[in-house]
Amino acid sequence: MLAARVNLKGWQQAAVAFGSAFGALLDPKRADLIAALGETTGKPAFERVLQRMKNSAEGREVLLERPRVISTQVSHAWDMPENTFGAAYAQFMGSRNFSPDDRPPVRFMDTEELAFVATRAREVHDFWHVLFGLPTNLIGETALKVIEFEQMFLPMCMLSVVGGSARFSEKQRTLFFQHYFPWATKAGLKSTDLMSVYYEKHFHEDLEEVRRNWGIVPCPDPKSSSI
């Protein structure tokens, strides 16, 4: 079940967006503020994502069944054989001591359908980490925001790229813009519509196979590749 929604008027949305942006700049670890910023600035983008999902058979199935990436619904990933997408996701979460239940709820969408799309976008984030082979450090998270922007055109994603790169050291900034950024812009465009994928029904499939099927190019090792 999705969290209760808060209906905001135009000026209220602007106020929440401004306050969230300012607070997130002061404390980038405030996931609740970043989430609020994404919701209050992202309605047109989420509406476009919703329409794309309705135009896709698998996307329509996701919208109909409204799966949640929470422990009670994705625990079967931990039972999947080695080399499967599910096993890779379980290893990713377990090795970092992450829980799929930790994400803040969506509060500022106008309809249940849009609230689900926004929730889905938030909850598939870790699937994308696994598929694109990105770490969860500042560079990895910023690179994934580039892909999320390419896929959904959420303003918050580009703001996160700007904010993330501003916190890089000079060495990190050079590495990001010479290696990660060019790869991410290409990878985000090359991939299928990743919001229309019913990931949970592909847990049993080989990781490399699903990557090929979805047009996903994992991030090359910066020590051994030139992009």
Q: Which residues are part of a known binding site for Zn(2+)?
A: 125-126, 129, 141
Q: Rounded to two decimals, what is the model's pTM?
A: 0.84
Strand partners, 206: 84
3-state SS of 135-165?
Answer: CCCHHHHHHHHHHHHHHHCCHHHHHHHHHHH
Radius of gyration of the chain (CA): 17
Name the one residue in this structure whose structure tokens are 């999902």.
53
Distance CA(147)–CA(83), nearest Å, equals 24
SS3 84: strand
Identify the three-state secondary structure at position 190. Answer: helix
Give the residue carrying structure tokens 């890779």. 88
Q: What is the dihedral of CA 202, 204, 208, 212, to 10 degrees?
A: -30
- Mutual angle of helices 43-54 and 138-152, in 10-degree steps: 60
Tens of each residue's pLDDT in the chain, 227 residues: 454 445 544 434 444 333 444 344 444 445 554 555 556 667 999 999 999 999 999 999 999 999 999 999 999 999 999 999 999 999 999 999 999 998 888 877 889 999 999 999 999 999 999 999 999 999 999 999 999 999 999 988 888 888 888 899 999 999 999 999 999 999 999 999 999 999 999 999 999 999 999 999 999 998 865 55
> Residues comprising the binding site?
125-126, 129, 141
CA geometry: angle at 199 spanning 148 and 187, to 5°? 35
